[in-house]
């Protein structure tokens, strides 16, 4: 399976999200972006991204959905409801959540995703890193269960370094 042919939807184009989306575009991925601020979408569109009018449309057009938002409420607003990601994401889609959210919201998102046949992984950049360096640093992805083969292949192709922490494998050590 050629991961480079996958369409990546990116939600949240703030200081960190815009840099990550730019790196994906520069790496040759097809990227669809959504942000509440139209000007932020336009900046990425000028670099080759397609713009989605809402999270639902982004989910319909994407194989992998990455979000990088500021808080729990922002995450819920893009995943839940009729215009949310889960309303349109196809079974087998992968969600990589990189927002600053509580563990409870992470678990809730994983459960909701699983109910819709969507694989959700929660990411965290080491907190000691400043946002300016985050787009160039190692990211840790915590998976609720062993990530699928597609998710592992996608993470291997990510333009920065990602380590997947599999809690089941960690428990066996």
Residue 139 has pLDDT above 80, yes or no: no
Contacts of 3 (CB under 8 A, 6+ apart): 150, 153, 154, 156, 157
Q: Each residue of 87-102: b (16+ CB within 10 Å) or e?
A: bbbeeebbbbbbbebe
Biggest alpha carbon distance in the chain?
A: 48
Quote the CA–CA distance of 116 and 16 in Å, as a whole number. Answer: 28
Query: How far is Cα 17 from Cα 42, in angstroms, rounded to an integer?
Result: 14
Cross-strand pairs, 33: 10, 51
Look at residue 119 in the predicted model and tell me its pLDDT.
Answer: 80
Residue carrying structure tokens 């000007």? 39
Residues 21-48: tens digit of each pLDDT: 998 898 888 999 999 999 999 999 999 9
Q: pLDDT for 1-28, tens place per residue?
A: 456 678 999 999 999 999 989 988 988 8
Which of 54-58, 86-90, 93-97, 142-146 is predicted least confidently? 142-146
Nearest to 72 by CA among 95, 106, 96: 106
Tell me the domains of the chain and their CATH numbers: 3-172 (3.40.50.720)
Summarize pLDDT for 103-123 with one digit per residue, the tens. 888 888 888 988 888 888 765
**What pLDDT does 145 receive?**
52
For residue 127, name the pLDDT band (cuts at 50, 70, 90).
very low
Q: What is the mean pLDDT of the chain?
A: 77
């Amino acid at each position: 399976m050629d991961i480079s042919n996958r369409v990546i939807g990116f939600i949240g184009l703030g200081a960190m999200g815009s840099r990550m989306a730019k790196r994906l575009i520069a790496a040759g991925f097809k990227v669809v972006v959504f942000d509440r601020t139209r000007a932020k979408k336009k900046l990425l569109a000028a670099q080759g991204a397609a713009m989605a009018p809402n999270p639902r449309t982004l989910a319909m057009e994407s194989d992998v959905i990455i979000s990088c938002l500021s808080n729990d409420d922002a995450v819920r607003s893009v995943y839940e409801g009729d215009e949310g990601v889960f309303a349109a994401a196809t079974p087998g889609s992968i969600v990589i959540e990189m927002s600053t959210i509580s563990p409870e919201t992470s678990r809730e998102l994983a459960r909701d995703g699983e109910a819709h046949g969507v694989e959700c992984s929660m990411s965290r950049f080491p907190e000691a890193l400043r946002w300016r360096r985050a787009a160039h640093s190692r990211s840790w992805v915590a998976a609720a269960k062993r990530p699928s083969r597609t998710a592992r292949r996608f993470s291997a192709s990510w333009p920065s370094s990602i380590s997947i922490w599999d809690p089941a494998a960690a428990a066996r050590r």
